[in-house]
Amino acid sequence: MNRQLIEDTFRLLQTEMSPIAGIQLYLSPAECEQLLAVLERHDLEYDRKVHLLGIYTILTVAAQRHMECVPHHPELTRNILDGDYLYSFYLQFAVKCRELDLVAYLAPSIKKLQIRRSNGDFTEQNPAAGIEEFLLQERSQRSRTSKAI
Amino acid sequence: MKLHEALNIDLNEINREIENLVARDKDVPKKSQLAQSILELVGSGGKRLRPLMVIVGGRFGRKPSGRRTLQLSAAAEFIHAASLIHDDIIDDAELRRGGAALHVKTGVLSAVHIGNYMSARVIELLSKYTGDKNRYVHDLSAVATAQLCLGEYQQMEHAFDYNLTLEQYLEKSRNKTAMLMATCLRVGALSTESSEEVAQLLYAFGEALGMSFQIQDDLLDFTQSADVLGKPAGSDLRHGQVTLPVLFALQDPKLAPAIRTIGPASSEEEVSYVLDLIISSDALARTEAVSQSYLDQAAAIVQQLSDYPAHADLDTLLQYFAGRDH
């Protein structure tokens, strides 16, 4: 099931990304597992799982590419462009998947990550935690709404 | 008269809004390197063309311009400035607007993330506009920025590629420069609830203007002195950027062999020799003619919008872009 989900997600992302960028997305099994565990804890439609894993993948790879931006690195230009493209593609993809509420929720934490990294604090931050918090908030709002009805 | 005066736009108000994007961010300490670097960069000049285009676009809507249009104008400048930070690292440029480039002061890794902060701050700010009808507010950060990156990829892929076609050159220029300007006018218009048709016309106007702007920029590399450019003349050729004057010169069988010898290892003398060859050919006049044809396209769109009083502002923009080399 998870293998199918990962394959479907990566296939969708590769279809949606511009071939001009030529980016091959890759996440290790351990990196995927962080969000897969979150998705299993929530009752979500399959397509939504694909979209959320897609968003998680884009954000994770974007941050990784920009962490590899060191002077004289042979791939410096490509790492900058890949990170830049992926951060804008993240928004495009989220708009297309109608996940703008998630974008709004994650925006402050993504911004704070950039602030910390600009200050030389390279502590790992996994977007899975933010996505889980968003799903929990969404669930409690839905439950409040249904009780009110 | 300066462009903002001719457009009757309060530039100080826009500048305050741009500065407040970082100065009023409660997550950023005022004295931090990040805050200081950004304030220095945005305070160091720049023509604010993109914010002005957002404001002009906002004059075509059914509602008066308000806070949202102003925020979008500041966002446009922030996105542009963030791209300049990353561009300077890619180009290994040590100077920006007469001072040290940001990455020279902070280091590369820090500068990359300061640029990222600026983009992320825009998304955070604009995320408060929710709902389907407000999705356009993200066009600057999503569509226009992605296209800008694609233009950079294309430029990188075609460095020293003397077989580049005219179509490839035009697509690269559209992605790298024109689409952001087009999007500025479009989101400005939508922020004051213009019709989709008007927003599209303004997009096409901005795209034509942006194409002319990029082509003029390519020309300036041949016609202006290093003092005016703020970088050595001919640096596009030196860095392998096959611009429109080079493409036209390549069509001359007498010039092409010399141009094709220029590569990453060419000496200053070799580059200067080829620069002189191109300058004394008809390539610059032909390039100027292409730039003018885009301005003509833009002028035709102004005619289509002549029922709107703000069409005069489009004319002002047109005149400014037409006289950019003078």
Question: Domain range for residue B51?
Answer: 3-322
Number of domains comprising chain B: 1
Chain B nearest-CA distance from A1, in A, is 32
Closest chain A residue by Cα to residue B126: A104
Q: Which two tokens stand for residue B105?
A: 């002061």
Closest chain B residue by Cα to residue A92: B142
Q: Which two tokens stand for residue B63?
A: 């509602």
Per-residue three-class SS string for A80-124: HHHHHHHHHHHHHHHHHCCCHHHHHHHHHHHHHHHHHHHCCCCCC
Q: How many CB pairs under 8 A join A and B?
A: 125
Confidence (pTM): 0.94
Cβ contact A107–B138 (<8 Å): no
Cβ contact B146–A92 (<8 Å): yes
pLDDT band at B326, cuts 50/70/90?
A: very low
Closest chain B residue by Cα to residue A76: B90
Query: Which residues of chain A does B158 touch, with a Cβ-Cβ cutoff of 8 Å?
Result: none
Query: Which residues of chain A does B27 touch, with a Cβ-Cβ cutoff of 8 Å?
Result: 108, 111-112, 115
Lowest mean pLDDT among A79-83, A137-141, B23-27, B152-156: A137-141
pLDDT band at B325, cuts 50/70/90?
A: low
Nearest C-alpha neighbor of B103 from the set A80, A102, A121: A80
Q: Is B152 at the interface with chain A, CB within 8 A? A: yes
CA–CA separation, B121 and B123 (whole Å) = 5
**Residue among A85, A101, A119 minimizing CB distance to B149:** A85
Q: Is B119 at the interface with chain A, CB within 8 A? A: yes
Chain B nearest-CA distance from A26, in A, is 20
Q: What percent of chain B has pLDDT over 70?
A: 97
Average pLDDT over residues B269-296: 96
Rg of chain A (C-alpha set): 16
CA–CA separation, A67 and B76 (whole Å) = 25
| B residues 196-225 closer than 8 Å to A (CB) | none
ipTM given for this complex: 0.95
The C-alpha torsion from A57 through A60 and A62 to A67, rounded to 10°, is -160
Q: Say if residue B229's pLDDT is above 60.
A: no
Q: What percent of chain B has pLDDT over 90?
A: 89
Cα four-point dihedral sign B279, B282, B286, B292? positive
Residue A35 contacts residue A25 (beta carbons within 8 Å)? no
Q: Which two tokens stand for residue A62?
A: 């974007």
Task: Give me the pLDDT at residue A11, please.
Answer: 96
**Residue among B110, B130, B153 minimizing CB distance to A21:** B153
Task: Give me the pLDDT at residue A144, please.
Answer: 78
**Residue among B114, B138, B142 minimizing CB distance to A118:** B114
Lowest mean pLDDT among A27-36, A136-145, B186-195: A136-145
Lowest mean pLDDT among B55-59, B140-144, B255-259: B140-144
Average pLDDT over residues B303-324: 95
Q: Where are the domains of chain A?
A: 2-139
* Helix (H), strand (E) at residue B167: helix B166-173
Query: Which residues of chain B does A110 touch, with a Cβ-Cβ cutoff of 8 Å?
Result: 120, 123-124
C-beta atoms surrounding A141 within 10 Å: 11
**Residue among B111, B116, B143 minimizing CB distance to A87:** B116
Q: What are phi and psi of B282, to 5 degrees?
A: -90, 10
What rounded mean pLDDT belongs to chain B? 94
Query: Which residues of chain A does B34 touch, with a Cβ-Cβ cutoff of 8 Å?
Result: 115, 118-119
**Residue among A21, A76, A87 minimizing CB distance to B119:** A87
Q: What's B132's DSSP letter?
A: G
Domain at B313, CATH number: 1.10.600.10
